Amino acid sequence: MGLKQGGIVYFGIFSKEDPQYVLLKETSEEVEEDTFWLEERNSYKSYYDKQEILDLFEDEFDMICCKESYSLDFGHSEEHYHGDFEIMMRKR
């Protein structure tokens, strides 16, 4: 990763706790493990579990914070819920 020592990485991603993940697993074909093509959005959507992401960064990063949430989204279309988490880490 091109981040300098002491640099901070932050990201928010959908978790496998998202209700849409369960629905897509039952009704859609995965293009890769836990990744689906959404025709109506002309885009891919991937889902992760927290440990999967932490394992990717464990050798070079220290955790600053991690927040898991389940929240109501009423910003577009019909109201619906999302499962997600946000992670902030500092490169050693």
Q: What is the pLDDT of residues 28-37, one digit of tens each?
A: 999 999 999 9
Burial pattern 4-42, b for ≥16 Cβ within 10 A else e, equals: eeeeeeeeeebbebbebbeebeeeeeeeeebebeeeeee
8-91: CATH topology: Rossmann fold (3.40.50)
Domain chopping of the chain, boundaries: 8-91
**What pLDDT was estimated at residue 78?**
87
Low-confidence ranges of the chain (pLDDT < 50): none
